[in-house]
Structure 1
Amino acid sequence: MFTIVHRDYYTKIIVHGRLTHKDYIETLIPEINKLSELGNMKLMINALEFSGMQPRAVLDDLKLGVTKRKKIAKLAIVTNKSWMIFLVDLIKQIVASEIKTYDNEKDASDWLMQD
């Protein structure tokens, strides 16, 4: 499940549990579409409570990333999972957005608020 919180300088997406196709279709995709119409996005993804994804949700995530990659100015991912940090390091090589991982929201927020 996704919880989306709009801040002054960025949008925070909190990921809870195991993600499903329904989570993407009903929550994340419509929200990202609205945000992308406003211009370049600054996003924080808090994945501390993330526990996995259904296969179809993986495809939704890849598709969303490919179609919106040019609209994301900065992406901060808060995680304590080494496998996720490794994947983010791989993704950073193929996307134009600034992407960083953090182990806490304060540092991620500080970075997002920098111009």
Structure 2
Amino acid sequence: MNIRKHGLSIGIERVGSDFFLSFKAIGKLTHEDYEIITPMIDSALTGIRTPKIKALIDATELEGWELRAAWDDFKLGLKYGAEFDKVAIFGNKNWPKITEKIGSWFITGEVKYFENQEDALDWLDK
């Protein structure tokens, strides 16, 4: 039996004195994932009291998106892009670097790709 995990976990983490959203994407995201993810993101962002949000995206296990899921992700970027101050993406594949470039089109803050979590956290903390 071959079970393939996919989805997105969301959390609010603290590093030093800063609070920020963290996302961990796993597998190939589907439209059905976004039907579950979107209300969770809405809820998480509603609870943030700072004017700008810092986010950490762990893409080490992300394999990509189905076409309709990519559209869902695009719509989320349009909806919340102005709320983000910094977005750090870390992973071990080439495509997150492309995501960094595309994400910067929809997010008013800075978007940067890192090879490891520690460097990403250091950048967010500055």
Give the TM-score normalised by the residue count of structure 1: 0.86
Counterpart CA distance in 1 for 2:79 and 2:106 is: 13
Say which of 16, 32, 35 aligns to 2:44: 35
Percent identical pairs in the alignment equals: 31
Shift in CA distance, 94/56, structure 1 to aligned 2, threshold 3 Å: closer
Aligned position for 2:95:
83
Larger relative contact order, structure 1 or 2 (CA cutoff 8 Å, min sep 6): 1
Counterpart CA distance in 2 for 1:6 and 1:74 is: 15
Counterpart CA distance in 1 for 2:105 and 2:71 is: 19
RMSD: 1.7
Rg: which structure is higher?
Answer: 2
Query: Which stretch has the larger CA shift, 36-45 or 58-67?
Result: 36-45
Residues 35 and 41 in structure 1, CA contact (< 8 A), matched pair in contact too:
no
Gaps of 5+ in 2: 1-6
Is residue 2:116 matched to residue 1:104? yes
Amino acid in the other structure paired with 1:98: E
Tell me how many residue pairs correspond in the alignment. Answer: 113
- Runs of 4+ displaced beyond 4 Å: none
Give the TM-score normalised by the residue count of structure 2: 0.79
Gaps of 5+ in 1: none
Distance apart, 1:53 and its partner CA:
1.1
